[in-house]
Protein backbone atom coordinates (compact mmCIF):
# COMPACT_ATOMS: atom_id res chain seq x y z
CA UNK A 1 0.00 0.00 0.00
CA UNK A 2 2.78 2.47 0.94
CA UNK A 3 4.69 1.61 -2.23
CA UNK A 4 1.50 2.17 -4.26
CA UNK A 5 1.05 5.63 -2.71
CA UNK A 6 4.68 6.55 -3.36
CA UNK A 7 4.14 5.67 -7.01
CA UNK A 8 1.17 8.04 -7.23
CA UNK A 9 3.22 10.84 -5.67
CA UNK A 10 6.12 10.22 -8.02
CA UNK A 11 3.79 10.41 -11.00
CA UNK A 12 2.36 13.74 -9.88
CA UNK A 13 5.76 15.31 -9.20
CA UNK A 14 7.14 14.26 -12.55
CA UNK A 15 3.97 15.32 -14.37
CA UNK A 16 4.36 18.86 -13.03
CA UNK A 17 7.79 19.23 -14.65
CA UNK A 18 7.68 19.99 -18.36
CA UNK A 19 11.09 18.48 -19.05
CA UNK A 20 10.61 15.32 -17.02
CA UNK A 21 9.40 11.92 -18.09
CA UNK A 22 5.97 11.07 -16.69
CA UNK A 23 5.38 7.75 -15.01
CA UNK A 24 2.21 6.27 -16.45
CA UNK A 25 -0.04 5.12 -13.59
CA UNK A 26 -3.57 4.01 -14.45
CA UNK A 27 -6.63 3.65 -12.28
CA UNK A 28 -9.16 1.15 -13.58
CA UNK A 29 -11.42 0.17 -10.71
CA UNK A 30 -13.34 1.94 -7.97
CA UNK A 31 -10.85 0.52 -5.47
CA UNK A 32 -7.99 2.03 -7.50
CA UNK A 33 -9.78 5.38 -7.54
CA UNK A 34 -10.30 5.36 -3.77
CA UNK A 35 -6.62 4.58 -3.17
CA UNK A 36 -5.60 7.24 -5.70
CA UNK A 37 -7.66 10.00 -4.09
CA UNK A 38 -6.65 9.04 -0.57
CA UNK A 39 -3.05 9.40 -1.69
CA UNK A 40 -3.16 12.58 -3.79
CA UNK A 41 -5.94 14.31 -1.74
CA UNK A 42 -6.66 16.80 -4.56
CA UNK A 43 -7.16 16.05 -8.26
CA UNK A 44 -8.46 18.03 -11.19
CA UNK A 45 -11.84 16.67 -12.23
CA UNK A 46 -10.94 16.94 -15.90
CA UNK A 47 -7.66 17.28 -17.78
CA UNK A 48 -4.30 18.31 -16.37
CA UNK A 49 -3.11 21.90 -16.76
CA UNK A 50 0.54 22.78 -17.53
CA UNK A 51 2.10 24.56 -14.59
CA UNK A 52 -0.61 23.48 -12.14
CA UNK A 53 0.82 20.87 -9.72
CA UNK A 54 -2.33 18.83 -9.25
CA UNK A 55 -3.15 15.31 -10.33
CA UNK A 56 -5.90 14.76 -12.91
CA UNK A 57 -8.57 12.09 -12.70
CA UNK A 58 -8.79 12.05 -16.51
CA UNK A 59 -5.04 11.52 -16.84
CA UNK A 60 -4.99 8.85 -14.16
CA UNK A 61 -7.90 6.95 -15.70
CA UNK A 62 -6.54 7.29 -19.23
CA UNK A 63 -10.07 7.25 -20.65
CA UNK A 64 -12.83 9.85 -20.44
CA UNK A 65 -15.67 7.43 -19.85
CA UNK A 66 -13.78 5.52 -17.18
CA UNK A 67 -12.79 8.79 -15.49
CA UNK A 68 -16.41 9.97 -15.34
CA UNK A 69 -17.65 6.61 -14.06
CA UNK A 70 -15.01 6.53 -11.33
CA UNK A 71 -15.65 10.16 -10.38
CA UNK A 72 -19.34 9.39 -9.95
CA UNK A 73 -18.49 6.36 -7.83
CA UNK A 74 -16.25 8.48 -5.60
CA UNK A 75 -18.95 11.13 -5.22
CA UNK A 76 -21.62 8.52 -4.48
CA UNK A 77 -19.66 6.94 -1.64
CA UNK A 78 -18.71 10.33 -0.17
CA UNK A 79 -15.00 9.76 -0.72
CA UNK A 80 -14.62 13.14 -2.43
CA UNK A 81 -16.48 16.37 -3.01
CA UNK A 82 -16.25 18.61 -6.05
CA UNK A 83 -15.12 22.19 -5.49
CA UNK A 84 -14.03 25.23 -7.48
CA UNK A 85 -12.16 27.12 -4.75
CA UNK A 86 -8.67 25.95 -5.75
CA UNK A 87 -6.92 27.58 -8.72
CA UNK A 88 -10.27 28.47 -10.35
CA UNK A 89 -10.64 24.87 -11.52
CA UNK A 90 -13.04 22.04 -10.75
CA UNK A 91 -11.18 19.89 -8.27
CA UNK A 92 -12.03 16.65 -6.49
CA UNK A 93 -11.07 17.01 -2.83
CA UNK A 94 -10.74 13.94 -0.63
CA UNK A 95 -12.88 13.99 2.51
CA UNK A 96 -9.71 14.10 4.64
CA UNK A 97 -8.99 17.59 3.26
CA UNK A 98 -12.53 18.97 2.95
CA UNK A 99 -13.01 20.14 6.57
CA UNK A 100 -9.81 22.22 6.34
CA UNK A 101 -10.81 23.61 2.96
CA UNK A 102 -14.27 24.47 4.26
CA UNK A 103 -12.88 26.13 7.40
CA UNK A 104 -10.55 28.30 5.34
CA UNK A 105 -12.95 29.26 2.58
CA UNK A 106 -15.97 30.12 4.70
CA UNK A 107 -14.01 32.82 6.53
CA UNK A 108 -14.10 34.86 3.34
CA UNK A 109 -17.67 34.31 2.24
CA UNK A 110 -19.29 37.31 0.58
CA UNK A 111 -21.54 39.42 2.80
CA UNK A 112 -24.33 39.02 0.25
CA UNK A 113 -25.00 36.70 -2.65
CA UNK A 114 -26.13 37.95 -6.03
CA UNK A 115 -29.87 37.88 -6.61
CA UNK A 116 -29.59 34.94 -9.01
CA UNK A 117 -27.44 32.99 -6.55
CA UNK A 118 -29.93 33.65 -3.76
CA UNK A 119 -32.77 32.34 -5.92
CA UNK A 120 -30.80 29.30 -7.04
CA UNK A 121 -29.80 28.45 -3.47
CA UNK A 122 -33.38 28.67 -2.25
CA UNK A 123 -34.38 26.17 -4.95
CA UNK A 124 -31.52 23.78 -4.19
CA UNK A 125 -31.93 23.97 -0.40
CA UNK A 126 -35.62 23.09 -0.58
CA UNK A 127 -35.45 20.33 -3.18
CA UNK A 128 -33.47 17.17 -3.90
CA UNK A 129 -31.79 16.48 -7.22
CA UNK A 130 -31.88 20.01 -8.62
CA UNK A 131 -29.98 20.15 -11.92
CA UNK A 132 -28.51 23.10 -13.81
CA UNK A 133 -31.48 22.81 -16.19
CA UNK A 134 -33.87 23.17 -13.27
CA UNK A 135 -32.05 26.33 -12.19
CA UNK A 136 -32.19 27.73 -15.73
CA UNK A 137 -35.93 27.22 -15.90
CA UNK A 138 -36.35 28.69 -12.41
CA UNK A 139 -34.41 31.82 -13.42
CA UNK A 140 -36.12 32.02 -16.80
CA UNK A 141 -32.93 31.68 -18.85
CA UNK A 142 -33.49 28.32 -20.57
CA UNK A 143 -32.00 28.45 -24.06
CA UNK A 144 -29.81 31.48 -23.33
CA UNK A 145 -26.22 31.68 -24.55
CA UNK A 146 -23.77 29.91 -22.23
CA UNK A 147 -22.43 30.68 -19.74
CA UNK A 148 -25.82 31.98 -18.68
CA UNK A 149 -27.09 33.45 -15.42
CA UNK A 150 -27.70 29.97 -14.02
CA UNK A 151 -24.11 28.93 -14.74
CA UNK A 152 -22.81 32.05 -13.02
CA UNK A 153 -25.11 31.61 -10.01
CA UNK A 154 -24.13 27.96 -9.52
CA UNK A 155 -20.42 28.79 -9.82
CA UNK A 156 -20.87 31.55 -7.23
CA UNK A 157 -22.60 29.19 -4.80
CA UNK A 158 -19.86 26.59 -5.25
CA UNK A 159 -17.17 29.20 -4.60
CA UNK A 160 -18.92 30.04 -1.33
CA UNK A 161 -19.08 26.30 -0.54
CA UNK A 162 -22.83 26.58 -0.08
CA UNK A 163 -23.46 23.83 -2.64
CA UNK A 164 -21.68 20.99 -4.40
CA UNK A 165 -22.56 18.47 -7.09
CA UNK A 166 -23.53 14.90 -6.43
CA UNK A 167 -23.12 11.82 -8.64
CA UNK A 168 -25.05 11.25 -11.83
CA UNK A 169 -25.59 8.36 -14.19
CA UNK A 170 -23.34 7.78 -17.20
CA UNK A 171 -25.15 7.07 -20.49
CA UNK A 172 -24.15 3.81 -22.16
CA UNK A 173 -23.87 5.52 -25.54
CA UNK A 174 -22.91 9.00 -26.66
CA UNK A 175 -21.08 11.62 -24.61
CA UNK A 176 -20.46 10.13 -21.15
CA UNK A 177 -20.67 13.47 -19.34
CA UNK A 178 -24.17 14.24 -20.64
CA UNK A 179 -26.46 12.23 -18.39
CA UNK A 180 -30.20 12.45 -19.02
CA UNK A 181 -31.03 13.87 -15.58
CA UNK A 182 -27.95 16.09 -15.23
CA UNK A 183 -25.71 16.43 -12.20
CA UNK A 184 -27.70 17.08 -9.01
CA UNK A 185 -26.74 20.10 -6.94
CA UNK A 186 -27.18 19.93 -3.18
CA UNK A 187 -26.82 22.21 -0.16
CA UNK A 188 -23.34 21.54 1.20
CA UNK A 189 -24.06 21.77 4.93
CA UNK A 190 -27.12 19.54 4.58
CA UNK A 191 -25.31 16.90 2.53
CA UNK A 192 -22.06 16.89 4.51
CA UNK A 193 -22.88 17.72 8.16
CA UNK A 194 -20.02 15.61 9.48
CA UNK A 195 -17.48 17.54 7.39
CA UNK A 196 -18.88 20.89 8.50
CA UNK A 197 -18.74 19.72 12.12
CA UNK A 198 -15.12 18.62 11.69
CA UNK A 199 -14.25 21.99 10.15
CA UNK A 200 -15.38 23.81 13.28
CA UNK A 201 -12.85 21.89 15.38
CA UNK A 202 -9.81 22.91 13.32
CA UNK A 203 -7.45 25.70 14.29
CA UNK A 204 -6.45 28.06 11.48
CA UNK A 205 -2.87 26.82 11.48
CA UNK A 206 -4.05 23.21 11.29
CA UNK A 207 -6.37 23.91 8.36
CA UNK A 208 -3.65 25.74 6.42
CA UNK A 209 -1.17 22.92 7.06
CA UNK A 210 -3.64 20.27 5.84
CA UNK A 211 -4.49 22.06 2.59
CA UNK A 212 -0.92 23.11 1.82
CA UNK A 213 0.26 19.58 2.57
CA UNK A 214 -2.31 18.19 0.12
CA UNK A 215 -1.01 20.46 -2.65
CA UNK A 216 2.61 19.64 -1.92
CA UNK A 217 5.82 21.63 -2.28
CA UNK A 218 5.25 24.53 -4.67
CA UNK A 219 6.64 28.10 -4.75
CA UNK A 220 4.88 30.35 -2.23
CA UNK A 221 3.67 32.71 -4.95
CA UNK A 222 2.09 29.82 -6.84
CA UNK A 223 0.51 28.50 -3.66
CA UNK A 224 -0.94 31.93 -2.85
CA UNK A 225 -2.44 32.13 -6.33
CA UNK A 226 -4.00 28.66 -6.08
CA UNK A 227 -5.46 29.37 -2.63
CA UNK A 228 -6.44 33.02 -3.09
CA UNK A 229 -10.06 32.30 -2.13
CA UNK A 230 -9.06 30.51 1.07
CA UNK A 231 -5.88 31.92 2.53
CA UNK A 232 -4.39 35.42 2.76
CA UNK A 233 -0.81 35.83 1.54
CA UNK A 234 0.40 36.90 4.98
CA UNK A 235 -1.08 33.70 6.46
CA UNK A 236 1.07 31.62 4.12
CA UNK A 237 4.17 33.55 5.14
CA UNK A 238 3.39 32.80 8.79
CA UNK A 239 2.57 29.14 8.12
pLDDT digit string (tens) for 124-182?
Answer: 999 999 999 999 999 999 999 999 999 999 999 999 999 999 999 888 887 777 777 78
C-alpha span between 92 and 113 (Å, rounded) = 24
Burial bucket for residue 24 (CB in 10 Å: 0-12, 13-18, 19+): exposed
- The 10 Å Cβ neighbour count of residue 239 is 14
Domain extents in the chain: 1-96, 100-202
Predicted model pTM: 0.89
Q: Region 98-113: what's the mean pLDDT?
A: 97
Residue 219, pLDDT > 90, answer yes
Residues 45, 51, 54, 60, CA torsion sign: positive
How confident is the model at residue 15, as a pLDDT?
A: 44
Burial bucket for residue 182 (CB in 10 Å: 0-12, 13-18, 19+): middle
Taking alpha carbons only, the member of 31, 20, 29, 26 closest to residue 8 is: 26
How confident is the model at residue 200, as a pLDDT?
A: 98
Q: In the CATH scheme, what is the code of domain 100-202?
A: 1.10.10.10
Q: CB of 180 within 8 A of CB of 150? A: no
Q: pLDDT tens for residues 26-60? A: 899 999 999 999 999 999 999 998 889 999 999 99
Amino acid sequence: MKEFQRTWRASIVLSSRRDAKTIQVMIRTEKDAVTFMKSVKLALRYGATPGLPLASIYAAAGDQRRAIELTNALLARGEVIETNVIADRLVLAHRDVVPALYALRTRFRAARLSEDAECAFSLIAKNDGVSAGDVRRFLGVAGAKRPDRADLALAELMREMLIDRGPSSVPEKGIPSLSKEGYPYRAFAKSHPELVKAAKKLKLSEAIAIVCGAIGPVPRRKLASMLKLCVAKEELVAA
